[in-house]
Structure 1
């Protein structure tokens, strides 16, 4: 039994050290770093983009973006790394949707996740190269 308790304590300490590594202090409390998502209308053709983003817990609401306009939102990911926000995107005669933030996909690459919305799919900003080169396909209907 002592072996189990010792190993459980070691595992708890290792997990705590891992959590400290990905956390920062905010008002004196140890918390997971906030994430920021920005969406920009780059459809072209003077098209207005209607965006509605939500997660299992939060509804960001409907945003109407004229050409080249942006909107953003921030949040704290779940401590179990399951946070996911999806958005619907509408412009004349088109309806698409995409997981705009998936913790497993995005957490290693961005705490500020900037997306350009183009007709072929969203493109995420690569902070290393300073380009929107990480382009994705729309989610299947």
Structure 2
């Protein structure tokens, strides 16, 4: 005969699951930056008085179309999801061309730019920078 009643096991299961999830969340908040806020910044570094249109989306959010003028920038913030599958992509268009690309992809950017992802829109294309690094590590040329 069992000393533990069947009903008491059912009451312990939710508590065990809560403990497991809490432990996983605490572990995920450590070195890999899950759950922390990230800011993506896109600066207009085009020649002359050129502006560009930017339209960014994720699976769940459409951030709309924005016109970014001379010396202006566009910024948005979000939290990386628990599964590290956060993805934002953008289309950028100007008189010299256009491109659509992943502006934030957690698997690529979680350590590359954990809190601030900087992009410059230039005549040669869109350039991405690792956090606190002066030279671009990603260069995406314009589609003509």
TM interval, shorter chain, is: 0.7 to 0.9
The separation in 1 between residues aligned to 2:96 and 2:142, in whole angstroms, is: 17
Would you say 1:127 and 2:131 are equivalent positions?
A: yes
2:108 aligned with 1:105 = yes
**Distance of aligned partners of 1:66 and 1:133 in 2 relative to their CA distance in 1, 3 Å threshold:** same
Aligned-residue CA RMSD in angstroms?
2.9
Deviation at 1:122, TM superposition (A): 2.0
Work out whether 1:54 is the aligned partner of 2:54: no
What is the TM-score with the length of structure 1 in the denominator? 0.73
Among 60, 63, 67, the alignment partner of 2:66 is 63
The equivalent of 1:20 in structure 2 is 29
CA distance, structure 2, for counterparts of residue 137 and residue 23 of structure 1: 26
Length-normalised TM-score, structure 2 = 0.72
Tell me how far 1:136 sits from its aligned partner: 2.3
- In structure 2, the gaps of 5 or more residues are 1-16
C-alpha deviation, 1:23, in angstroms: 7.9
How many residue pairs get matched? 124
Q: For 1:69 and 1:96, locate their aligned partners in 2 and report how far apart those are by CA, in whole Å.
A: 19
- Bigger radius of gyration, 1 or 2? 2
Other structure's SS at 1:46 match: coil
Q: Distance in 2 between matches of 1:37 and 1:68?
A: 16
